[in-house]
Amino acid sequence: MPRDAATGIRTVLFGAFDRHNFGDLLFPHVIARMLPRNDWLFAGLVRRDLRAHGGHQVSAIAEVAKSLRERPVNIIHVGGELLTCDAWEAAVMLSRRDQLQEAIAGFADWRQDRLAWARDKFGVAALAPYTLAPESFPQAAHLFYNAVGGVELNVRDPAMRAEVVAHLNAADDVSVRDTQTKALLDASGIATRLVPDPAVMVAELFGTKIRRRAAHRAISQILNAFPQQYIAVQFSADFGDDETLCEIAAQLDRIVISSGLGVVLFRAGAAPWHDDLVCYRRILARMRAPSVKIFTSLNIWDICALIAHSRVYCGSSLHGRIVAMAFALPRVNVRHPERATHPTKQTAFAATWEEAGTPATVEVREIADGIRDALTDDRARLQRTAEKLVTRFRDGFDPIRAKLC
């Protein structure tokens, strides 16, 4: 188990990288690279092995807490929108496909006694289990929250908000990745620092590795199929109603015809409630343009390479956008039809870190125009933003690094 080089204190990286989600799987890679050790203990809510997808072998945090209960430990929450994820939502996203309906049906039991339900499911009695109660690790030397998000914390129920605030109050340091989350926590009396999402570091830390993926079959086939380049396109499964998919197909046809670019549809997450190949096949069936392919690899380094070699990214994933930002590429997020008037993590992040004039989010009926506008963005400005975010993340991570190195 990993130990701080100077003190011998063990260190745990904790987060939602126990399921297949593009951004969450990238976070522990970034944090581990930012500190001079290579033997971390990676923990989520459940035990999983995601190494086949470029992730980690993950331990269950309840088992880690039990084994380390009487020992000093450092804990770093590696990032993500973890402040607003409740235990039932976590259970659904962590369920296997054949268990999904059973997990969803568990909502009634969850509502009856939420803490007991969470304890039974994860061994952690918490409404927001990706935040840690101090009693879980009574000998914790340091507890850090790194660039976390909680854009909709204000609309969660009072008990969950109170629990999150109490857990954050017990931390040594809390950094958040957008001004919306910062304002909500500041109003609750939590001292926070503003630090960009860890994924802004992927080009800086892993650029060579990612570019070399072009030699792998999954990427080389795409590059050979689209010598005139392509748009990297992604949508979560909640865009999957017929009307929305018909509009997406029509919008993609428009931009293919006007730009001469191809379209590659990819998944930024395969866990329940993330992305679904069935939706992509339905889009493909509705499109007239022939230059469209579905990218099936779920390896996070292939996904990074797909975005890095694209001409522009368009989709609902925040981390699709952030990886495009890291490689100084044009990007635009798409708002879900039911979220047009609500704050989202995508709009909050763009408002915090993008320069004025850079396209942020568009509605489904504006996809073609949004991509066209993104393609006209100034490359020097995109590069400037990428470099600024690397500097801001390094500076923002220094307080954690200083305490652990």
* DSSP one-letter string for 215-257: GSHHHHHHHHH-TT-EEEEE--GGG-SHHHHHHHHHHHHHHHH
323: its two tokens: 């990886």
- Cβ neighbours of 33 (radius 10 Å): 14
Domain extents for the chain? 10-195, 202-388
Residue 333 parent element (H or E): strand 331-334
Q: What is the pLDDT, as a whole number, of residue 105?
A: 87
- Name every residue whose Cβ is closer than 8 Å to that of residue 186 and which is 6 or more positions away in sequence: 192
Task: Name the β-bridge partners of 77.
Answer: 14, 145
The residue among 235, 221, 287, 289 whose CA lies nearest residue 258 is 289
CATH 3.40.50.2000 fits 202-388, yes or no: yes
- Name every residue whose Cβ is closer than 8 Å to that of residue 326 and which is 6 or more positions away in sequence: 199, 200, 201, 202, 203, 204, 386, 389, 390
pLDDT in tens, the chain (405 residues): 444 544 568 899 999 999 999 999 999 999 999 987 766 899 999 999 999 999 999 999 999 999 988 888 999 999 999 999 999 999 999 998 778 888 888 888 888 899 999 999 999 999 999 999 888 888 888 999 999 999 999 999 999 999 999 999 999 999 999 999 999 999 999 999 999 999 999 999 999 999 999 999 999 999 999 999 999 999 999 999 999 999 999 999 999 999 999 999 999 999 988 999 999 999 999 999 999 999 999 999 999 999 999 999 999 999 999 999 999 999 999 998 877 777 899 999 999 999 988 889 999 999 999 999 999 999 999 999 999 999 999 999 999 999 886
Do 15 and 30 meet the contact criterion of CB atoms below 8 Å apart? Answer: no
Q: What is the pLDDT, as a whole number, of residue 8?
A: 66
Q: What is the pLDDT, as a whole number, of residue 1?
A: 41
The residue among 208, 233, 399, 189 whose CA lies nearest residue 305 is 208
Helices 318-326 and 379-404: crossing angle in degrees, nearest 10, is: 100
Q: What is the pLDDT, as a whole number, of residue 7?
A: 55
Do 346 and 403 meet the contact criterion of CB atoms below 8 Å apart? Answer: no
pTM: 0.95
Q: What is the pLDDT, as a whole number, of residue 336?
A: 87
Q: What is the pLDDT, as a whole number, of residue 386?
A: 98
Q: What is the pLDDT, as a whole number, of residue 205?
A: 98
95: its two tokens: 């369920």
The residue among 87, 137, 133, 153 whose CA lies nearest residue 114 is 87
